Amino acid sequence: MFPLKHKHSFAVDVNAKQLIEIDAIAALQSLVWNDDAYILGEGTNTIFTEDFNGPLLVNRLSGIEIKESESGWHVYAAAGENWHNLVVKLIGLGIYGSENLALIPGSVGAAPVQNIGAYGVEVATFIDRVEVYDCKLHVRTTLHHEECEFAYRDSIFKRPAHRHWFITGVHFFFPKAWQPVLGYPDLARLAPDATAEQIMAHVIMVRQQKLPDPALIPNAGSFFKNPVVSQSECQRLQANFPGMPVFVQADGNCKLAAAWLIDKAGLKSLTTGGAAVHERQALVIVNKDNASGADILSLAEAIQTNVRERYGVKLEPEVRLLDEHGLIYS
């Protein structure tokens, strides 16, 4: 058995029957795929709720390549590289665009899967193509941007039918025609002509103030997605709950702040066993005291039930929850 406590940032004390670290594509070529397998990056958006019975493939591929063209920079990063380290490296080189995404935990390979985003920017904006190894057919393929089916915290890579796709690397394009994205309230203090370096430093400061460090308090970051509702539903909610923050999207639908919904429902610091809603950030569930998988699932269900009964809004997990057989789909 392989301990998983230090393989996922929520640090539930569970095990895997088999763990294989992939540090070269050649290791994939000799792999016999098992449908019970799960592909893991740094485990910052994954929670193992009990012992995992299938093979666990850990992505350790490394390497970064940067090429400049007349209009921008073409950046290739292997999937096992750390995302935040890549952002810091790019900004330090004068390659701008990813500064709003600083300090998001996890690997480069996880970025397109989740279509990570923060402060008005999604990583899909800069993804040109994603390199994939099909562990069933043993063929390498490349998916161009439009084939990735990017959406809010979603992509084709999250589909159960493609769980045998092992992302090996991501190609980004960062245009030289850069403009700061400062529309979110947390960035309002910045000057309109703020530099990318200033934005990155501010984003890091805000995230450190708002979010608990997984190294000190085990957690998997934002537990729930910000729900999206229709314009008419948004108007109903704002009439019934004055002060509710909403973000109107290009399609006319409204994105709600899940943290606000949880907080105003009186659920901040709610505890089930060793799992608790973080006292400063209602969107984060933490492993307060050796939480079990059952504690986490029970607390999450209690939050969902309370929010649904109070607002008529369904909260969906942003984190990837696994039981002994793999992903839990609800």
Please report, rounded to a whole number, the percentage of residues in the chain having pLDDT higher than 70: 99
**Mean pLDDT of the residues in the chain:** 96
Q: State yes or no: pLDDT of 285 exceeds 80.
A: yes
Q: What is the pLDDT of residue 287?
A: 97
Percent of the chain whose pLDDT exceeds 90: 94
Confidence at residue 249, expressed as pLDDT on a 0 to 100 scale: 87
The catalytic position among 122, 131, 153, 155 is 153
Sign of CA dihedral 16, 22, 28, 29: negative
Helix (H) or strand (E) holding 149: none
pLDDT (mean) for 4-31:
96
Looking at residues 39-60, what average pLDDT do you find? Answer: 96
Q: Give the distance, in angstroms, between the CA of residue 185 and the centroid of all CA atoms in the same chain.
A: 21
pLDDT of 45 strictly over 60: yes
Confidence at residue 154, expressed as pLDDT on a 0 to 100 scale: 94
Residue 236 a catalytic site member: no
Residues with Cβ within 8 Å of 309's Cβ and at least 6 positions away in sequence, in order, are: none
Burial of 289 (0-12, 13-18, 19+ CB in 10 A): exposed
Cβ atoms 54, 19 nearer than 8 A: no
> Which pLDDT score is estimated for 223?
97
Query: What are the pLDDT digits (tens) for 24-38?
Result: 999 999 999 999 999
Q: What is the pLDDT of residues 170-182, one digit of tens each?
A: 999 999 999 999 9
Q: Is the pLDDT score of 330 beyond 50?
A: no
pLDDT tens per residue, range 197-241: 999 999 999 999 989 999 999 999 999 999 999 999 999 999 999
Is 222 a catalytic site residue? Answer: yes
pLDDT over 70 at 76, yes or no: yes
Q: Are 48 and 54 in contact (CB under 8 A)?
A: no
- Residues of 305-327 as b/e, b for ≥16 C-beta within 10 angstroms? ebbeebbebebebbbbbbebebe
Domains of the chain: 2-59 (3.30.43.10), 64-206 (3.30.465.10), 216-327 (3.90.78.10)
Q: Which of 9, 155, 222, 292 is catalytic?
A: 222
As a whole number of angstroms, the distance between CA 212 and CA 276 comes to 12
pTM: 0.91
Say yes or no to pLDDT of 12 above 50. Answer: yes
- H-state helical runs in the chain: 25-29, 83-92, 110-114, 196-210, 231-240, 258-264, 293-311
Q: Is 318 a catalytic residue?
A: yes
Q: Tell me, what's the pLDDT at 269?
A: 84
Average pLDDT over residues 185-192: 92
Residue 329 scores a pLDDT above 80: no
